[in-house]
Structure 1
Amino acid sequence: MSIPSWHSEHWTRLQARRQRDALPHALLLCGPRGLGKRDFLRRFVRGLLCQRPQEGDACGTCRSCLLFDAGTHPDYVALSYGLRKDGVQRSEIVVDQIRELSARLATASQFGGWQIASIDPADAMNAAAANALLKTLEEPASQTMLILVADAPWRMPATIRSRCQRIDFQLPAQAESLAWLQDVGVREAPAALAAAGGNPGLARIWAEEGALAQRQDVRKDLAALAAGRGDAMEMGRRWLDNAPDQRLWFAAQAVADEMRARAATQTGPLASALDIEGLGAWYDAANRAREALRGPLRGDLLLLELLGRWR
C-alpha cells in the first residue's frame, strides 16, 4: 500500500506521543472522504496492538498481528452500522450499540495492553447514542482508547468533539496530490483530480470507477435541458438510479464552471438561460439536495424539482 504523504505529520505526532506514554484516550479522525482516514486508523491500531512494533508499524508476524488481520483480536472492536431485528441494516448507530461497547471497554485487556474501539462513521450516532458515549469519554478506563472516524464531524455534538484529540485530514497541495496519483497508477491524473475538487483519494476512486465519463454525461444532461431538450423527470430517475450524490457533485461543479465562464465571456458551455444570481442559487440548491438525500425525503422529487428549476 502506498502511504499518502499527507499522513506523515499526523503519524509522526502520534508516535512521538506514544514514545512519551502520552497517547490520548479518545481520537477523532476527520476530514473529507477519500483522504485515507480508515487506512490510517488500521495502520495505527495494528501497530498499537503489535507485540513487536517497529517505529510504530506492526511487525505483521506476531500473534497479535495475526489475530488482528483475521479480524478476531480480543482487544479491538470496530463499531459501525448494526442490523435491526428484521435483519435490515440500520442507517444510524443506536444507543444499545454504545452501551454494549462501553461494557466491553470496561473489561480487562486479554493481552495486557491497550483495549481499542473504533466507531465509524461516528457522525451516524443518533442523539441517544452520542449521549451514552459521553460517560465513556468522561471516565475512560486505564489503557483504553476510543477512535472516532467522521467525514462530517459537524454532525456530531460539540460535547463529543471537545473530548477527543482531533486529527484533521485536509486536502494536500495539487503537486503533492498529482505525485501520489501518478505513484498509484491513476491515468489522466490531472482530469481526475479536477473532477474530485482537489481530493486525491476521491480522484483515485472515481478514476477506477469510470466516473469521469459520468461527469461528462451530467454536463451533457444539463446542456440538453438548458436547450429545451430532454425530460427532467426521466433524467431525475436516471440520476437517482446511479450514484445520485456523485451526479449532484458533478452538476454543482459544472454550474460553478458556467458561472466562471459567464463572468469572463458572457457565455458558458452549458448555455443556461439563468443569470449569475440564478446560477448561484441553483448551485446552492444542488448542494442542499446532496445533503437532503441522506434524509427521509423522496429522492425522485428532490431531483425533479432541481432539474425543473434548471430547465
Structure 2
Amino acid sequence: MTLRPWHAEAWQRLQARRERGALPHALLLAGAAGLGKRDFLHTFAQGLLCQQPADGVPCGTCRSCHFFVAGTHPDVVQLSFGLRKDGVQRSEIVVDQIRDLSQRLSMSSQFGGWQVATIDPADAMNAPAANALLKTLEEPSQATMLILVADAPSRLPATIRSRCQRIDFAVPSRDESLAWLTAEGVKDPAAALLAAGGNPGMARDWATDGALKQRSEVRGDLLALATGRGDAVEMAKRWQTNDPSRYLWFAAQAATDELRARAEGTKSPLESTLDDEALDAWYGQANRARDSLRGPLRADLVLLELLAAWR
C-alpha cells in the first residue's frame, strides 16, 4: 500500500515515536473521507506487525505480512458494523462488540509481538459502546495498539478523543492535489478537484463514477425549481436512488457558489429567489440533511423537505 504525499509528516512523526519505543496505546485517525486515512491505517498496522519493516513500511514478504494481506492474522481484530439477529447490517457499533473486543485484547499475542485492533467507523459507536471502550482505553493491555478511524471525530465523546493520540488528515494544497491526481491518471483533475471541494481522494473516485455529471444534474434541478419548471417530488425520488448523500454534497456546494456570486456581483448561476439569509440557512439545512441520512429518517422525505424549501 503506497502512502499519499500528504501523509509523510504524520508517518515520520509516528515512526520516530516507534524508534524511541514511545508509541501510544491508542490512535485516532481523523479527517474527511477521501484523504487516505484507511490506507495509512493498513500500512501502519501491517508495518507494526511485519517481521522486517523498513522505516515502518511492511516488507510484504514475511509470514506476518502474508497473514495480514490475507485477512487472517491472529493478532489483528477489525471491528465495524455487525449484523443484527435477523441478518440485517447494523447502522451503529454496539456495546456487545466492544465487550468482545476488550476480552480478545486481554489475551496474549499469538505471534509474540503487537496486537492491533481497529474500530472503523469509530464515530458510529453508540453511547453504551463508547462508554465500554473507555474502560479499555484507561486500562490498556501491554503491546496492544487500538486504532480508531473517524470521518466525523466530533461525534466521539471528548473522553474517548482525549485518551487517543490524534492524527488529523487535512486537505492538502491544490498544487499537491493536482499533481497527485495527474499521477493517478485523472483526465481533468482541476474539474474533479473542484467538484470534490478540494479533496483529492474524493476527486479521484468521482472522476470515474459519474459524479461530475451528477453535479451538473443537481445544479440543473435547482435552477429548474427556482424558475418554476421543476417537480420537487420527482427530483427527490431521483436523488434518492443514487447516493443521496452525494446529491446533498453538491446541493450545499451549489448554495455556496450562489452566495459567492452575489457577494462578487456576478451573474447568479441558479437564479434562487431566496434572500442571502435564507440561502445561508438552506446551505445549513442541506448539510444537516446529509447527517440525517445516517439515522432512521426516510431519505425521500428528507430530500423532499430540502427541495421544497428551495422552491
The alignment's TM-score, normalised by the length of structure 2, stands at: 0.98
1:195 aligned to 2:192? Answer: no
List 4+ stretches of structure 1 deviating above 4 A: none
Question: 1:66-121 CA distances to partner (integer Å, 9 max, x unpaired)?
Answer: 11111110011111001111111111111111111111111011111001100000
Matches within 5 A, 1:17-56: 17-56=17-56
Q: Does 1:207 align with 2:236?
A: no
For this pair of structures, how many residues does the alignment match? 311
1:171 aligns to what? Answer: 171
Counterpart of 2:157 in structure 1: which amino acid? P
Judge conservation of contact 1:25–1:140 (CA < 8 Å) in 2: yes
SS state at 2:207 partner: helix
Mapped partners of 2:117, 2:151: distance in 1: 18
Answering whether residue 153 of structure 2 is matched by residue 129 of structure 1, we say: no
Contact 1:171 1:198 in 2 (8 A): yes
User: 1:293: which partner in 2?
Assistant: 293
Q: Which residue of 1 aligns with 2:87?
A: 87
Distance 1:113 1:264, change over 3 A: same
Amino acid at match of 1:35: L
Identify the residue that residue 271 of structure 1 maps to in structure 2.
271
The 10-residue stretch of structure 1 (257-266 or 15-24) with the greater mean CA deviation from structure 2: 257-266
Please say which of residues 283-292 and 119-128 is displaced more in the overlay: 283-292
What corresponds to 1:225 in structure 2?
Answer: 225
Distance 1:244 1:295 in 2: 13
Counterpart code for 1:231:
D
Distance 1:21 1:2 in 2: 24
How big is each residue's C-alpha offset from its partner over 1:9-32, in whole Å with a ceiling of 9 and x where there is no partner?
Answer: 011011111111111100000100
Taking the aligned partners of 2:227 and 2:184, their CA distance within structure 1 comes to 40
Q: In the aligned structure 2, how far is the partner of 1:137 from the partner of 1:40?
A: 22
Q: Displacement of 1:288 after TM fit?
A: 1.3
Secondary structure of the structure 2 residue equivalent to 1:132: helix
- How far residue 2 of structure 1 moved from its aligned partner, in angstroms, is 4.6
The CA distance in 2 between the partners of 1:219 and 1:246, in whole Å, is 13
Q: What RMSD, in angstroms, separates the aligned Cα atoms of the two structures?
A: 1.0
Counterpart Cα distance in 1 of 2:98 and 2:287:
32
Structure 2 distance, partners of 1:153, 1:233, is 34
| Aligned amino acid, residue 307 of structure 2 | L
> Any idea what SS the aligned residue of 1:209 has?
coil
- Contact kept? 1:35, 1:199, Cα under 8 Å: yes
Kindly indicate whether the alpha-carbon contact (under 8 Å) linking 1:245 and 1:290 is maintained by their aligned counterparts in 2.
Answer: yes
CA positional deviation for 1:263: 2.3
- Conserved? CA contact 2:91–2:294, under 8 Å: no
Is 1:147 the counterpart of 2:125 in the alignment?
A: no
Whole-angstrom distance in 1 between the partners of 2:269 and 2:115:
56
Which residue in 2 is equivalent to 1:117?
A: 117
Shift, 1:4, TM fit: 1.2
CA distance in 2 between counterparts of 1:265 and 1:145 reads: 54
Q: Is it true that 1:12 corresponds to 2:12 in the alignment?
A: yes
Kindly, what percent of the aligned residue pairs are identical? 70
SS for the counterpart of 2:81 is coil
The amino acid across from 1:218 in the alignment is: V
TM-score scaled by structure 1? 0.98
**TM superposition shift of 1:283:** 1.1
Matched to 1:153, the amino acid is: P
Q: Is the Cα–Cα contact under 8 Å of residues 76 and 116 in structure 1 kept in the other structure?
A: yes
CA contact (8 A) 1:123 1:155 kept: yes
Q: Secondary structure at the match of 2:208?
A: helix
Task: Report the residue type matching 1:274 in the other structure.
Answer: L
Q: Distance in 2 between matches of 1:2 and 1:188?
A: 23
Residue matched to 1:307: 307
Q: CA deviation at 1:266?
A: 6.1
2:158 equivalent to 1:161: no
Return the letter of the residue paired with 2:148: L
Alignment match, 2:106: 106
Change (3 A) 1:2 1:105: closer
Range with greater deviation from structure 2 (74-83 or 292-301): 292-301
Distance 1:108 1:124 in 2: 28
Partner Cα distance (2:160, 2:72) in 1? 28
2:252 is aligned to 252
How far the C-alpha of 1:3 sits from its partner, in A, is 2.6
